[in-house]
Structure 1
Amino acid sequence: MSTVPTPMALTLALAFVLTSLAACAPGQQSADASEATDQRQCFWASSLSNFRQGDHGNLYVRDRSDQVFEISTRERCQDLDLASSVAIQSDYSSVGRLCVGGHARITMRGLGGEPASCRARVDRRLTPDQIAALPDNQQP
């Protein structure tokens, strides 16, 4: 005895197959999402190799891929110019990836002092020309 599928069952099966095929096909939306991520200009906090204080509470950091980012402090970070090390972490994510426009917390340790922290924002990634234009004492 054979059963004949109902029109509703055939419609659902066809919808499932078409949805599955559409999910596998390359689409414009995924390309746009990839471009948006590339344009965000991000770095990993664990990849920082150097830092220098800039003017007016700015901090310039260099990562291992030789990118330089400008970070501005929201509060005046006391003794940032005396910091022997800094750690930066995202305010909103524990992943450790920071992007231009993102908010962060800078924790610094001075010579023999207690760690201090302040809020900051990743302002921009500098171009090679912008890095070269920084005063020598501000280039990370």
Structure 2
Amino acid sequence: MRILLTSALAASTVAAMSLSACAPAATRAAAAADGEKSVARCFRTDSVRNFRTDRQSDLYIRSLRDDVFQINTSGACWDLDSAVSIAVTPTLGGSDTVCVGDPVQILVPNADPGRRTCRAFVTKSLTAEEVAALPDRARP
């Protein structure tokens, strides 16, 4: 009897997770039907094609799909404003996809050896209007 209850509970949990996984897609479809432009929530770390900084703590990256994300560093990310290249890597799990709200590591190869990485969070996916409103120096 215990095995049946456990499998029934597992089946209901899987069904609930399946339904919740569909909710964001349904929300995006409804927003598109209302004429709103949906913004990407995730990007692959190997698809970053450009980046710019605004102050020492804000990093804006543009993905290959032309989506722009804001990443906020936790304090000083040394030499980020003079970096020629960067790498964004997830801190959790083995996936190379990161989403809004995820913690990431920023690697600045040309920084001092002891200060090449810093912690950060993907804080926002910007709309086209928000990207246009960024100062030129911060727009990737």
Report if TM-score (shorter chain) is over 0.5: yes
Corresponding residue pairs, total:
122
Unaligned runs of 5+ residues in structure 1 are: 1-14
Q: Does 1:46 align with 2:46?
A: yes
Cα pair 2:56 2:77 within 8 Å, conserved = no
Q: State the alpha-carbon separation in 2 of the partners of residues 29 and 45 from structure 1.
A: 26
Q: Does 1:110 align with 2:110?
A: yes
Unaligned runs of 5+ residues in structure 2 are: 29-39
Matches within 5 A, 1:42-81: 42-81=42-81
Letter aligned with residue 23 of structure 2: E
Identity %: 34
Provide the aligned C-alpha RMSD in A.
3.2
More strand by share: 1
Letter aligned with residue 127 of structure 2: T
How far off its partner does 1:98 sit? 0.6
Q: State the alpha-carbon separation in 2 of the partners of residues 29 and 103 from structure 1.
A: 23
Matches within 5 A, 1:1-140: 29-36=17-24, 41-110=41-110, 114=113, 116-140=116-140
**TM-score, length of structure 2 as denominator length:** 0.73
**TM-score, length of structure 1 as denominator length:** 0.73
Instruction: Please tell me whether Structure 1 or Structure 2 has the larger radius of gyration of its CA atoms.
Output: 1
How far off its partner does 1:28 sit? 6.8
